[in-house]
Structure 1
């Protein structure tokens, strides 16, 4: 494998891992499932099963407990051997809970990915949770600014402004003095 091929494989793998995270935070089932092979197995908390069941279980849990979540992806190690790759991906989970408290947790996703028909997807995931804690609640910055959501309000759906194409600014110029 050339260095360029290895770099392209690594990027495709990272893209698959990112689709999981964004798909969960935006409740975008199609995007979430595109990170996994349909016959994948995931062990996360007390859940062990396939990707479609994981999405349904996770969405129900997150909708009941949180108004917003962010699955932040951090350090990534990739070991590629032919059409199989093993990754270790550090994560930081942040959530705004329905009771207005804030929850942080950190750990690692340990994945085995396989390439089928030229596409890398997760085949096996095990989640290692290493710490968790609550953060004091503070007001969300700028929430009271008139027109703050003219460009779009955050949404746990494909209505989130991050899906808009082309992205445009609809707010009037304003330089606070």
Structure 2
């Protein structure tokens, strides 16, 4: 592989990784348009809770999150990307998520999970987006929420928000 091809492959891997991060930002900030921007319009997902068109999934997922979760935070790790061509790639990434939800009686619960995403990425018009994403659930749990706001935790004044008022938008990191 030539130096130019290796540099292009690294740039493409970085572009895909950034899209993976935007997907996570979109879910945690409940940003529907950002979430849709990570998929091609004809993309698909197989998540079990929703199987079908990726944009229809986005239309389902963001309201579900807003209606059922108090907050959610996700991280990706162990990202492996392999190219099939200059415009097609396969990837696996690990996702560790954590969310708080309220039961009908008002009791709060903490719900961590560890999943893997299996993706097909396609570069169209110079932009990498997902053509397909599978979700593999490896484990999850649930226990009483024990969030703390006392002692030293009371000193943390900057709170995240689940919309475009979050400070990440002020940094200009989200288009």
> 2:31 maps to which residue?
28
Asked if 1:159 is matched to 2:165, the reply is yes
Secondary structure of the residue aligned to 1:154 is coil
Moved over 6 A (4+): none
Matched with 1:14 is: 17
TM-score (norm 1): 0.84
Q: Distance in 1 between matches of 2:73 and 2:8?
A: 31
TM-score (norm 2): 0.85
Q: Distance in 2 between matches of 1:11 and 1:130?
A: 26
Question: How far did residue 135 of structure 1 move?
Answer: 4.1
Structure 2: segments with no counterpart, 5+ residues: none
Question: Offset of 1:51 from its aligned partner?
Answer: 2.4
Q: Provide, for residues 8-38 of structure 1, a one-character-per-residue CA deviation record: whole Å limited to 9, x for no partner.
A: 0100011111111111110111211111000
Matched, 1:112 2:120: yes
Secondary structure of residue in 2 paired with 1:57 = helix
The equivalent of 2:129 in structure 1 is: 121
More helix by share: 2
> What residue is the counterpart of 1:40 in the other structure?
43
Aligned to 2:138: 130
* Partner of residue 148 from structure 1, selected from 115, 134, 157: 157
What residue is the counterpart of 1:94 in the other structure? Answer: 98
Query: Which position in structure 2 is the counterpart of 1:5?
Result: 8
Q: Any idea what SS the aligned residue of 2:108 has? A: coil
Unaligned runs of 5+ in 1: 167-177
Instruction: Please state how far the C-alpha of 1:60 moved relative to its aligned partner.
Output: 2.4
Number of residues paired by the alignment? 163
| 1:97-143 deviation line (CA, Å, top 9, x unaligned) | 12321101111000001010111100011100111102442233456
**Alignment check: 8 A CA contact 1:24 1:55 kept:** no
Going from structure 1 to structure 2, the CA distance change for 1:10 and 1:47 (only over 3 Å counts) comes to same
Cα distance, 1:127–1:164 mapped onto 2, change above 3 Å: same
